[in-house]
Structure 1
Amino acid sequence: MRRQKRDMNTRAFDRGYQAGVSGRSIDYCPHADSEHRQNWICGWREGRSDQWDGLTGVSGVHKLRVS
């Protein structure tokens, strides 16, 4: 748990991915810092791509990270 909190770039990417898969808009990016915002947007784009490819729910389980 502590490792996730320390690495904010990975956490931003993961949160962006979750937002993208759930269909949220890119306007909901919570980060003001440019580096964290870029990682969130990259995750969001990958999440949206996976949503469009149908990798949501059980079919997308293989994309989850196990920490």
Structure 2
Amino acid sequence: MRRQKRDMTERAYQRGYQAGISGRQKENCPHSQQQLRQEWLSGWREGRTDHWDGLDTAASLQKQAFH
């Protein structure tokens, strides 16, 4: 059984979230395409907020499962 590739926008959001929760800077966004960049930055913002609120990595993984 083959797995379908995730939607690129969802993938950009998830990677942005991981960057934000780990404390990386938003200037590290790897996307130049506007839509993917916007999704990455949205994920980054949410990740930074969770980081500042004290969420640990396990809690953030659980939260991502519901997104």
| 1:42 to partner: Cα distance | 0.2
For 1:3 and 1:45, how far apart are their aligned partners in 2?
24
Over aligned residue pairs, what C-alpha RMSD do you find?
Answer: 1.6
2:60 maps to 60
Structure in which a larger fraction of residues adopt helix: 1
1:11 maps to 11
- Letter in structure 2 aligned against 1:28: N
SS in 1 for 2:65: coil
Deviations 1:36-67 (A, max 9, x none): 0000000000000000001122343421327x
1:2 maps to 4
Q: Which runs of 5 or more structure 1 residues have no equivalent in the other structure?
A: none
TM-score of the aligned structures, taking structure 1 as reference length? 0.84
| 1:25 to partner: Cα distance | 0.2
